[in-house]
Amino acid sequence: MKSLPILAPVVACLLIVLTYLLVQGAAPDAARHERTLDALRTVILYNAALQRDVLRARTGLLRDYDPLVRSVGRLDEATGSLSIARDVAGGEAQADIDQRVTGVTAAVREEEALVEAFKSDNALLQNSLNYFNYMSSRLATEGGGLRAVEIGVLTTAMSRFIGDPQPEAAKAVAAALDRLERPSVDTSSASDIGSLVSHARLIVARLPAVDDLVARLQAAPTSERARALQDVYLQAHGRVSARASLFQALLYAAALILVGYVAYLLARLRRNAQILRERLEFERLIASISSQFINLPRDRIRTEISEGLARLVAQAGLDGAQIVVSRAGDTGPSSGYVYRRPGIDMPARSANDTIELASRWTLTDHERQGCISVPRVGELPEGPEKARLEADRLRSWLCIPLWHTGERLGFLALDAVTHERHWADDDIALLRTAAEIFANAIARERSEREREALQARLNQSQRLEAIGTLAGGIAHEFNNILGAILGYGEMALAVLLKDSRARRYVQQIMKAGGRAQDVTEQILAFGRRSERQHHALRVEPVVAEAVDLLRASSPATLSVRTHLSADDAAMMGDPTELQQVVMNLGTNAAQAMNNRGVLRIDLDTTAPVEARMLSHGNLPPGRYIRLAVRDGGSGMDQATLERIFEPFFTTKPAGQGTGLGLSTAHGIVAAHGGAVDVESKVGEGTTFEIYFPQIERAPQDAQKDEATDVLIQYGNGETILVVDDDRPLMQLAEEMLAALGYEPVGFDRTPAALSAFRTDPERFDLVLTDEVMPEMTGIELSGHLHRIRPDLPVVLMTGYGRPLRSRQLTAAGISEVIKKPLLSAAVAQCLARHLH
């Protein structure tokens, strides 16, 4: 009990001391401490980012100044947060901290002013640099002589000044500008040269100022002051913590942990800076690869893709890469690009293997951002995917699809053989950007190649159309000549004795005229000007008959083998023209084999579900009858293959071919709405495949031959008005009509004929008029006659063979159209139909 009075004061003193020590040893607010450190780190980090972005902007790598604005804004926020560091310690230490906080804030404000000045000056400088580069390049290219030399000297001096903006370099630029400003004889580029000189002087004036701003920004004391403030702050905090460490050992341990954490942050900052530098280099590489394809000629796209693939592999630290290309609907093998780092030994993987592996990938756990990412092949579950990758000796694999306008063109596969590679999300995003660049280049190369092919086909079509128009005009004139030859020859035969020598001579003339008429018909068919009467017909009997004719005209050394399996397949067409196609193709094939060997002719049906691009046209989806003619002849090279359907083009010696056989066949196929596909290899032979649109089954009577023998009916003195601007042909028609028992009245001018008809309309029983005449066409003349006398029969003669509109013929009162050259039997039958 005696000790109680003593113990009580001791305890009270101890409590007072402990309380005092606890109060003095109380640790600062940890949250406040962390916020202070975060604010300091933010100042340091964003000051470094600001200096980096300033350098990027100075070199032209920064597209805009948004990063600078963001960095300045974060610096403002961070310096505002530093106010919480003012109540950490007392006395001189706190005053020192307050002073350093003010110093950091002032440094940040100074940097903001420098950034604002830099943005305006650098924008003006970059604009002048771009204009100077553009205008100097253009003037040096377009100009010549001394002016081009002076521009070259100026460009060299400017490059040296930009690289090292020293006074000597500035003087060299100024001297070059003075020489360039001297008057010149060439006044056309004076304005451009003046602009060039103005921008060059602006560069000389602003570049040192901008570099000075960059240097001042790089030398700004913000980071040093922030670090010094951090050191002073940590020292004050350490002293407070040291007092508390006597009673709070854990507080000391926490301080050690804090120091270790700071060290970790510094190490992480260095690591992040290294990653940032690597990513920046990667972004530059991708930008460089993208810029390579701007305005690049098509023939260099494939080379640049291969080079870009090699650079991508080197930058990413991989062992190989592969681009495989395949479009939906293609029937041929896939194509692509492959690069392997030198010294890497791995099996060759085909494009089809890569496409099959990527398309059938089933391990969804390894799919990221639409890509297949396999950082460790050995950890894959057992299956075909793992077996395929291990067979290729891969340790890591990344496969990125190549998309273009919603279409998957193929894949970009990246291989790691010597080491494992883990791809972060940012890495995959950059690699996907590279894949998009390659996909756009591949799609551009493909579209330009298709455009060139289509343009070549369009040019060929226009050339054939022009030649066809010319051929039709020639055929018309030739028909008029043949009309006189055959007409007078026919009348000569009528008056000559049967066994006379003169009759035999005239018969030979008529035979030669008939052959000439066949050539004319071929020319008209090629020019698409001959009138075609298409009707439903079964193809197989027509082709079989043509094959029989071909066999009959072929020597014994040529074997014609057929496989006709079209059954009842029908088409709209002309049987004579279809047989002409078979005969022309068969004759051409036989000549290619020198009439020796086996000629195959096949007929079947096909129904493609997708459009096909043929060698000479496009084949839309649908049902078709396919005629194939194959020979084992000498074949054709690509240059010959492109010209085979040109009229009068032939590879045969002079006198052995007209060059109209294939062109005529092509014209007939086109008129029937068909398409042609030709495959040929030199030394292996040629295959012609003709596609005709198939229709429903033809009526049974569509194949009947409607030709019947008709006896010539003579006239009873009816008066026939004959109009033809070719006077010899008009006279020939008069003599022919007189021989047939009619009374002809001929005119070689339409106004005279119309005047005679108006004088006495009832005098004439029928009008026979030519179609093409200079003063008035036959249809126009018929219209005038029809209005005067609607019941008058009018027969129109034409040598062009082009189809005429039935509505136009009916409106002009034309009863029938007959072809030139005129023969007595045809004229007699026509007149009999309308008069008797």
SS3 category, 560? strand
**Mean pLDDT (whole number) for 236-241:** 74
CB-based burial label for 145 (10 Å; 0-12, 13-18, 19+) = exposed
191 pLDDT higher than 70: yes
Q: What confidence score (pLDDT) does residue 701 get? A: 44
Task: Indicate if the pLDDT at residue 627 is higher than 90.
Answer: yes
Query: In terms of Cα–Cα distance, which of 320, 318, 429, 328 is closest to 371?
Result: 429
Q: Is residue 708's pLDDT more than 50? A: no
DSSP string, 403-417: EETTEEEEEEEEEES
pLDDT at residue 23 above 60?
no
Task: Look at residues 576, 536, 565 and name the one whose alpha carbon lies nearest to residue 697.
Answer: 536
Which segments of 685-765 are extended strands (E)?
685-693, 719-723, 743-747
Q: What is the pLDDT of residue 711?
A: 64
What's the rounded Cα separation, in Å, for the pair 369 and 778?
75
Give the Cα separation of 653 and 417 in Å (integer).
62
Q: What confidence category does residue 577 fall into, taking pLDDT thresholds of 50, 70 and 90?
A: confident
pLDDT of residue 784: 92
Strand partners, 630: 600, 687
Q: Distance between CA atoms of 180 and 184, rounded to whole angstroms?
A: 9
149: pLDDT strictly greater than 90: no
For residue range 505-560, list pLDDT tens digits in order: 787 787 777 767 766 765 665 555 445 567 788 899 989 888 887 887 788 888 88
Contacts of 656 (CB under 8 A, 6+ apart): 650
Q: Across the chain, how many H-helices and E-strands are there?
A: 23, 20
d(CA 548, CA 602): 14
Cβ-contact 135, 199 below 8 angstroms: yes
CA 238/CA 223 separation, integer angstroms: 22
pLDDT at 329 over 50: no
pLDDT in tens, 250-287: 445 556 777 888 888 898 999 888 888 888 888 888 88
Contacts of 266 (CB under 8 A, 6+ apart): none
User: Is 119:197 a contact under the CB 8 Å cutoff?
Assistant: no
pLDDT band (50, 70, 90) for residue 27: low
| Tens of pLDDT, residues 589-626 | 888 888 888 889 999 999 998 888 887 778 889 899 99
Model-wide pTM > 0.85? no
Q: Provide the 3-class DSSP secondary structure of residue 681.
A: strand
pLDDT greater at residue 38 or residue 799: 38
Query: What does the block give as tokens for 816?
Result: 């029938």
Tell me what pLDDT residue 749 has.
92
Q: Are 648 and 658 in contact (CB under 8 A)?
A: yes
Q: Is the dihedral of CA 106, 109, 110, 111 positive or negative?
A: positive
Give yes or no for a contact between 115 and 217, defined as CB atoms under 8 angstroms apart. yes
Q: What CA–CA distance (Å, rounded) separates 219 from 432?
A: 38
**Is residue 794 over pLDDT 90?**
yes
Residue 702 has pLDDT above 50, yes or no: no
Give, as one character, the DSSP assignment of residue 330: -
pLDDT per position as a tens digit, 356-393:
888 888 888 888 888 988 988 888 888 888 888 888 88
Of residues 177 and 694, more confidently modeled: 694
Average pLDDT of the chain to the nearest whole number:
79
Q: What pLDDT score was predicted for residue 782? A: 92
Question: For the chain, how long is the longest CA-to-CA vector?
Answer: 181
For residue 333, pLDDT over 50 is answered with no
* CA dihedral angle for residue 115, residue 120, residue 121, residue 123, rounded to 10 degrees: 110
